[in-house]
């Protein structure tokens, strides 16, 4: 399995079952933080559930149906980013991600998503990458906006979150748009801002 250097002590590694204890510990100590926007937190309450997720991620990789990567920062797992599935007929994928609260503010997720989008377009030759974010989740929405995605609209009451529905903002990036000057400028501006705030 490869690792991909994101710079400044950060890297991506495909998730494997051997990371179960480390990933569960990150999830468990961030349960309240993650629960605000992620419905799966309550249905993955123990290390066995985390191991099951990682087995599924390895199968996804083996079947060429996308993959899940761990984000490591200074030797510790910080979060997860992944292509949730690949629609090969339409050459499209959806990007999902989350980060532990203690790792925010380092530009990690922007760099990780940038790498995953590069991979989708340059290696997998996909045409479209989509990101769905809860309308009120400002931190999550900042990622596609920072990377120059287009907001296509809002899916009303599209996701059940614990005890209520939330609206989802839909963002997309097309292969021919990725790397355009306005996208690169926006990304580089954010990189400079991240370096200043670290």
Band (pLDDT 50/70/90 cuts) for residue 44 is low
| Per-residue confidence (pLDDT) for residue 183, from 0 to 100 | 55
Contact between 27 and 50 under an 8 Å Cβ cutoff? The reply is yes
Q: Kindly tell me if the per-residue pLDDT of 142 is higher than 70.
A: yes
Q: Kindly tell me if the per-residue pLDDT of 58 is higher than 90.
A: yes
Q: What's 80's domain CATH number?
A: 3.40.630.30
Q: Pull the structure tokens for residue 160.
A: 């059940």
Considering just the CA atoms, what is the radius of gyration of the chain in Å?
Answer: 16
User: In this predicted model, which residue has the larger pLDDT, 198 or 165?
Assistant: 165
Instruction: Name, in order, each residue with C-beta under 8 angstroms of 183's C-beta and a sequence gap of 6 or more.
Output: 147, 148, 177
Where do the H-state alpha helices sit in the chain?
20-29, 31-35, 47-62, 108-118, 138-146, 181-197
∠ Cα 176 127 117 (to 5°): 80
173: domain range? 4-197
| Per-residue confidence (pLDDT) for residue 2, from 0 to 100 | 74
Q: What is the pTM of this model?
A: 0.88
| Per-residue confidence (pLDDT) for residue 189, from 0 to 100 | 44
Total tally of structural domains belonging to the chain: 1
What's the whole-number mean pLDDT along residues 38-49? 84
Q: Pull the structure tokens for residue 102.
A: 């203690």
Band (pLDDT 50/70/90 cuts) for residue 9 is very high
What would the pLDDT profile of 155-196 be if each residue is shown by its tens digit? Answer: 999 999 999 999 999 999 999 999 876 555 454 444 444 443
∠ Cα 13 27 36 (to 5°): 120
């Amino acid at each position: 399995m490869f690792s991909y250097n994101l710079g400044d002590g950060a890297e991506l590694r495909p998730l494997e079952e051997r990371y179960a204890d480390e990933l569960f510990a990150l999830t468990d100590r961030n349960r309240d933080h993650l629960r605000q926007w992620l419905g799966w937190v309550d249905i993955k309450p123990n290390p066995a559930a985390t191991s099951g997720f990682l087995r599924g991620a390895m199968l996804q990789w083996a079947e060429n149906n996308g993959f899940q990567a761990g984000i490591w920062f200074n030797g510790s797992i910080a979060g997860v980013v992944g292509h949730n599935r690949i629609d090969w007929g339409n050459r499209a994928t959806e990007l999902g991600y989350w980060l532990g609260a203690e790792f925010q503010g380092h530009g990690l997720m922007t760099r990780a998503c940038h790498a995953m989008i590069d991979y989708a377009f340059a290696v997998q030759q996909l045409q479209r990458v989509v990101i769905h974010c809860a309308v009120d989740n400002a931190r999550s929405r900042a990622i596609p906006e920072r990377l120059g995605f287009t907001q296509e609209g809002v899916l009303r009451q599209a996701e059940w979150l614990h005890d209520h529905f939330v609206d989802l903002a839909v963002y997309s990036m097309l292969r021919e748009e990725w790397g355009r000057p306005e996208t690169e400028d926006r990304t580089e501006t954010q990189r400079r801002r991240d370096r200043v705030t670290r």
